[in-house]
Structure 1
Amino acid sequence: MRCLVDAQLPMRLVRWLREQGVDAVHSSELPGGNHSTDHSIARLADREDRIVVTKDADFVTSNVLEGTPRRLLVVRTGNVRNAELVALFQAHFAEIAAALERHSVVELHRTHLRVSD
């Protein structure tokens, strides 16, 4: 699995993903850093076959209207501490990975996942 984690999510999540064997990049590591546009993030994710991990609803709109980024993991937890966010990923990681193999858009809520194509 390859991911590009957007600016609203912590580098701590990227480090945890890497510990799980995921090829994860944070937007702060891109040439434009956290000032990278949504369009450039989506284009890079599609080119490198990465899943955009984000809280930004604009990516969902872009996925529906323009087909880019092709794959999304949308974090819909509201405001949570970084430790709580990582704990949610830990608790649901296998389910998230399986859903992303079959669906183009997966939403992580505090209590469940929602999938769509």
Structure 2
Amino acid sequence: MKLLLDANLSYRLVKKLAYTFPDCLHVTKTGLPIPAEDIAIWQWARVNNRIIVTNDDDYYNLANTYGFPPKVVLLRLGNQSSASVAETRQKHLDDVQKLNESNKYGLLKTF
């Protein structure tokens, strides 16, 4: 499964998630302008078949407006360390896998 970490998450997470999510990419490595607009990230993720991982509610609104793809994992953690976010991703690995395989759902909120 191919993840795209939003700009509001540390690029350091790519390395921390590499074992579980080897095809993980930070938005700063997409070639999009920095900072990229949410809609540009959304479109890039759709074209490149990526699941967006973010804590930005704007993606919830985009998902409700445009549907999926791309699918979105919305982290509801507040400000956390990269290690804490990586631990949460590990804890929800099955949920992310189910989202990836689903034809019915395009959004996962994790706490």
Q: Scaled by the length of structure 1, what TM-score is found?
A: 0.81
CA deviation after TM superposition for structure 1 residue 21, in Å: 4.2
Match in the other structure for 1:67: 67
Match in the other structure for 1:108: 110
Maintained 8 Å contact 2:4/2:51: yes
CA deviation after TM superposition for structure 1 residue 87, in Å: 1.4
Match in the other structure for 1:77: 77
Which residues in structure 2 correspond to 1:46-65 (within 5 Å)?
Answer: 46-65=46-65
Distance (whole Å) between structure 1 residues aligned to residue 33 and residue 20 of structure 2: 24
Q: 1 or 2, which has the higher helix percentage?
A: 1
Q: Scaled by the length of structure 2, what TM-score is found?
A: 0.85
Greater shift in the superposed pair: 85-94 or 5-14: 85-94
1:37 maps to amino acid: E
Maintained 8 Å contact 1:7/1:26: yes
Which consecutive unaligned segments of at least 5 residues does structure 2 have? none
Distance (whole Å) between structure 1 residues aligned to residue 64 and residue 17 of structure 2: 26
- Larger relative contact order (Cα-Cα within 8 Å, sequence gap ≥ 6): 2
Match in the other structure for 1:16: 16
Which consecutive unaligned segments of at least 5 residues does structure 1 have? 110-117
List per-residue Cα deviations over 1:60-117 (Å, max 9, x = no partner).
Answer: 11111123553100011111122111111222222322233222100111xxxxxxxx
Distance (whole Å) between structure 2 residues aligned to residue 63 and residue 87 of structure 1: 25
Maintained 8 Å contact 2:16/2:83: no
